[in-house]
Amino acid sequence: MNPKFTKKLAIKSIILIGSIAFFSLFPKNPQTTSSNSIAQIPPFDNFPPKFLKPRKPQIQPSPAATPSPKPPEQPLVFAPPAQFRSQIVYKASISNSKVIALTFDDGPSPETLKILEVLQKHNAVATFFCLGRNLREYPEIAKKVVQAGNAIGNHTWHHYYHDVTEKIASNEIDYTGIHIHRSTGAKSLLFRPPGGRLNNGFADYAKKKNYVVVMWSIDTKDFLQPPAAVITRTVLSQATSGAIVLLHDGGGDRQQTVEAVSEIIPKLKQQGYRFVTVPQLLQMQAAQKQPNGDRKPK
Ligand SMILES: [Zn+2]
């Protein structure tokens, strides 16, 4: 055989063997297999770890054993739209629908359950301004208030009327807030000062803490226990859209209040009113783009 030819053959053989050895040592990068058909792309499980996100535990429980996780529940917060924070509100300016907000102070108490029954019967909701000391005594009742779709607000711990230092106002309002959360799971930025007093330190502290100070436009004076018909007449004669009605579910026997509410709700419904919570009422005003609203007493 020609020695030149033999040498060329030997060199070609070495190159061929070398190439085979080279490609077998370095397999093709999966990302660069563009010339291959899709069928040849390895399944994800065969990709090197650097192409995969960290894997979950290897042992997958059966779907029946672990139902798909629920999305995390949003914390329940009763807060006014931003424009009402640190403001005093007496009523809302609502011109495009007939809505009214009933509010009940000084609970929760066993009387609250009777009010809840009436509200539920008429498919209405309201706002309850609770005392911290009553929340501690009746946390289950407060929980029912919120579970039924009502709003809850802060009415201080002791219901002091006298002037208070900022430290006392802080204790009274902050601890009540803690007990609102502890009993209902909700947070609230709704505050009503005891007796509606705005100058004894409570309202100032509440405003500093971004609460809306919720007053009222209709005072039923139901705490004086007038006949139910008187309470009913007071509300029906003054009802306007956006009104906030002051009533009580604490402070003793509330039979007249319960009877009055049983009359008021169906009668105002007949007139086309809907019953909403205070945050809903303020939201409706905000949606009407009337940022200043009516924050002064009638
Ligand atoms: Zn009160």
Angle at 256 between CA 233 and CA 194, to 5 degrees: 90
Lookup: tokens for 8? 């060329």
Cis bond leading into 3, ω under 30°?
no
List the catalytic residue out of 155, 159, 179, 248: 248
How far does the centroid of ligand 1 lie from the alpha carbon of residue 221, in Å?
A: 11
Q: How far apart are CA 175 and CA 126, in angstroms?
A: 23
Tell me whether residue 163 is one of the annotated catalytic residues: no
Low-confidence residues of the chain, pLDDT below 50? 1, 20-58, 60-61, 63, 290-291, 293, 296-298
Closest CA to 104 of 222, 231, 271, 246: 246
Residue 290 sits at φ, ψ, to 5 deg, of -120, 80
Secondary structure letter of residue 138 according to DSSP: -
Of 40, 21, 22, which Cα lies nearest the Cα of 30? 40
**pLDDT given at position 75:** 74
Active-site option among 45, 105, 155, 174: 105
What is the per-residue pLDDT across 17-51, written as a single tens digit (0 to 9) for each? 555 444 444 444 433 333 333 333 333 333 333 33
Distance in Å, CA 194 to ligand 1 centroid: 5
Q: How far is the CA of 95 from the centre of ligand 1 (A)?
A: 30
Cα distances (Å, whole numbers) of residue 129 to 39, 73, 98, 237: 67, 25, 23, 24
2, 45, 164, 247 from 105: Cα distances, Å: 115, 63, 20, 6
pLDDT given for residue 5 in this prediction: 53
User: Could you tell me the end-to-end alpha-carbon distance of the chain, in angstroms, rounded to an integer?
Assistant: 121
Q: How far is the CA of 235 from the centre of ligand 1 (A)?
A: 19
Is 174 in the active site? no
Residue 174 contacts residue 62 (beta carbons within 8 Å)? no
Domains observed in the chain: 77-287 (3.20.20.370)
Report the alpha-carbon distance of residue 45 to residue 48 in Å, rounded.
8
Q: 223 C-alpha vs ligand 1 centroid, how far in Å?
A: 9
Residues 242-258: pLDDT tens digits?
999 999 999 999 999 99
pLDDT of 156? 98
What per-residue confidence (pLDDT) applies to 175? 98
CA of 12 to the centre of ligand 1 (A): 102
- Predicted local distance difference test score (pLDDT) of residue 2: 54
Q: How far is the CA of 159 from the centre of ligand 1 (A)?
A: 6
75 Cα–ligand 1 center, Å:
27
Residue 222 to residue 293: CA distance in whole angstroms = 28
C-alpha to C-alpha distance for 274 and 283, rounded to whole angstroms: 15
